[in-house]
């Protein structure tokens, strides 16, 4: 069976982008991807749009994006899986290519969130929890992860300082990423002194709602080699799984079962294990989420995620560098775009184009993109020849 390769990536600036509409954001990333791959629009024969539609005033986003980018009459459709929409779209593109229906597919992640107020966004996101039995008590997204964090702290002795250490690392790398929303380093004291959000979380435990776009162009093996030459990064392992919508029926509160299962599938398909991963982008929507990811992906033993960050094992030079682009925490989290942004970063790393954030000798990479508070998870494993 032929492989699917990534031939181009493009990333726009994330942040509170009151200077641009959603289609203009998409165009920034699309233009960058065409330039990156030396491609033209006529090289593409299909599109998948990744966005969470309820944040936009524009309904049916696909139409306006394809028109603005000048991609009609190419086929296009929207893929939505909450905060994992971006990786769901990449998986969809992979399937479209392997089915033989398409040869070169552009995945366009685009999201404009900040037209809404923070309480409106909190209400929308809280309803990614189960609305019949949970949201009626005013649950919020930070609140869900906060409850997971509290249980992890109780069972494994994970500390607030260890949570804050995740934020410190991700801001350290965000300060070195020109696309990031927050380009300032922080200290543990600053994180621990920030205002409360949902105990035990404070402001610096939480990523920020953001606007922004990212584009990845994938191609069937032969086309990929012709278009990308030796810069192609192969998407060789894909895993996807779900767990319960509500915490009321969740089998565990100290792990995301969807992530464990998605990782198992992706490792098996790519023929690698956690020890082979040289660089990873994981879904750090909250500080605890990165600690859960270390454990769910097998980078460390269950319960040891707090120690893993404390020992700086996820920094450049550590056992497994994680989110050395700043993660959601410092880059910002335009929810439909995030998974596509992760793929952009891993592709840059495997090509050796990550500049001062480069992981030396990175030839196998991974992305871990979670939707909701664990309901959906996509894990991708990437290889460079």
Partner 1 sequence: MFSWFGKVNFTPHTKVDEFAEHLRQGRLMGSRCTKCGQQSFPPRADCPACLHDEFEWVEWDGKGKLLTYTRIDAAPTGFQDMGPYVIGLVELEQGGRLVAWFGESIPEDKIAMDMPVQVVPRVFEEIEEIKVYYTLEQPGTSWHRAPRG
What residues line the site for partner 1 (CB under 8 A)? 118-120, 122-123, 126-127, 131-140, 142-143, 146-148, 150-151, 154, 195-201, 247-249, 253
**Count of positions (residues) in the chain:** 385
373 to each of 142, 243, 244, how far by Cα in Å?
A: 9, 10, 10
Nearest residue to 253 via CA among 180, 154, 354: 154
The DSSP string of 232-246 is -EEEEEEEEEE--SS
| Catalytic status, residue 333 | yes
Tell me the longest C-alpha to C-alpha distance in the chain: 56
Of 178 and 251, which CB lies nearer to partner 1 in the complex structure?
A: 251
Whether 98 and 4 have beta carbons less than 8 Å apart is answered as yes
Smallest distance from partner 1 to CB 333, Å: 16
Smallest distance from partner 1 to CB 375, Å: 16
Of 142 and 228, which CB lies nearer to partner 1 in the complex structure?
A: 142
- Marked catalytic residue, from 179, 333, 368, 380: 333
Smallest distance from partner 1 to CB 253, Å: 6
Of 72 and 117, which CB lies nearer to partner 1 in the complex structure?
A: 117
- Marked catalytic residue, from 11, 27, 56, 83: 83
**How far is Cα 224 from Cα 252, in angstroms, rounded to an integer?**
41
Angle formed at CA 336 by CA 59 and CA 313, multiple of 5 degrees: 170
Of 154 and 184, which CB lies nearer to partner 1 in the complex structure?
A: 154
Smallest distance from partner 1 to CB 87, Å: 26
Report the run of H or E that residue 360 belongs to, with start and end.
none
Alpha helices in the chain (DSSP H): 22-37, 61-68, 85-98, 118-126, 141-156, 160-174, 188-192, 221-228, 257-270, 287-296, 305-310, 327-331, 338-351
Question: Which residue pairs from 300-303 have beta carbons closer than 8 angstroms and sit at least 24 positions apart in sequence?
Answer: 302/254, 302/255, 303/155, 303/156, 303/158, 303/254
For the four alpha carbons of 92, 96, 97 and 103, in that order, the dihedral sign comes to: negative
Query: For residue 68, what are its two tokens?
Result: 């603005």
**How far is Cα 206 from Cα 190, in angstroms, rounded to an integer?**
14
**How far is Cα 155 from Cα 369, in angstroms, rounded to an integer?**
25
**How far is Cα 346 from Cα 329, in angstroms, rounded to an integer?**
17
Smallest distance from partner 1 to CB 199, Å: 4
Of 122 and 280, which CB lies nearer to partner 1 in the complex structure?
A: 122
The DSSP string of 180-207 is -S------HHHHHTSPEEETTEEGGGB-
| Catalytic status, residue 285 | no
The residues annotated with a catalytic role in the active site are 83, 333
């Amino acid at each position: 069976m032929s492989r699917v390769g990534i031939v181009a990536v493009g990333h726009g600036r994330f942040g509170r982008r009151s200077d641009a509409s959603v289609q203009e954001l998409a165009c920034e990333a699309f233009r960058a991807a065409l330039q990156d791959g030396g491609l033209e629009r006529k090289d593409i024969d299909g599109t998948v749009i990744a966005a969470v539609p309820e944040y936009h005033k524009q309904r049916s986003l696909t139409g306006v994006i394809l028109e603005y980018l000048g991609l009609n009459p190419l086929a296009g459709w929207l893929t939505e899986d909450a905060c994992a929409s971006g990786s769901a779209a990449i998986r969809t593109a992979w399937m479209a290519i392997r089915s033989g229906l398409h040869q070169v597919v552009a995945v366009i992640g685009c999201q404009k969130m900040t037209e809404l107020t923070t309480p409106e966004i909190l209400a929308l996101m809280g309803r990614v929890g189960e609305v019949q039995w949970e949201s009626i008590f005013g649950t919020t997204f930070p609140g869900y992860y906060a409850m997971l964090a509290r249980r992890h702290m109780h069972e494994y002795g994970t500390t607030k300082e260890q949570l804050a250490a995740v934020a410190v690392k991700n801001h350290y790398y965000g300060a070195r990423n020109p696309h990031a929303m927050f380009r300032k380093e922080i200290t543990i004291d600053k994180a621990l002194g920030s205002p409360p959000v949902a105990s035990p979380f404070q402001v610096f435990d939480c990523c920020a709602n953001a606007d922004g776009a990212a584009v990845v162009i994938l191609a069937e093996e032969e086309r990929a080699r012709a278009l990308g030459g030796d810069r192609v990064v192969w998407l060789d392992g894909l895993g996807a799984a779900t767990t319960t919508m509500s915490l009321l029926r969740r089998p565990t509160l100290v792990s995301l079962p969807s992530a464990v299962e998605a990782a198992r599938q992706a490792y098996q398909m790519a023929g690698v294990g956690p020890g082979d991963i040289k660089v990873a982008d994981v879904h750090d929507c909250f500080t605890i989420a990165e600690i859960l990811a270390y454990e769910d992906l097998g980078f460390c033993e269950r319960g040891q995620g707090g120690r893993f960050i404390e020992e700086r094992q996820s920094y450049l030079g550590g056992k497994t560098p994680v989110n050395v682009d700043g993660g959601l925490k410092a880059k910002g989290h335009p929810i439909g775009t995030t998974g596509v942004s992760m793929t952009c970063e891993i592709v840059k790393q495997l090509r050796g184009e990550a500049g001062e954030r480069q992981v030396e000798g990175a030839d196998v990479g991974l992305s871990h993109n979670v939707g909701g508070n664990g309901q959906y998870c996509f894990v991708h494993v990437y290889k460079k020849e």
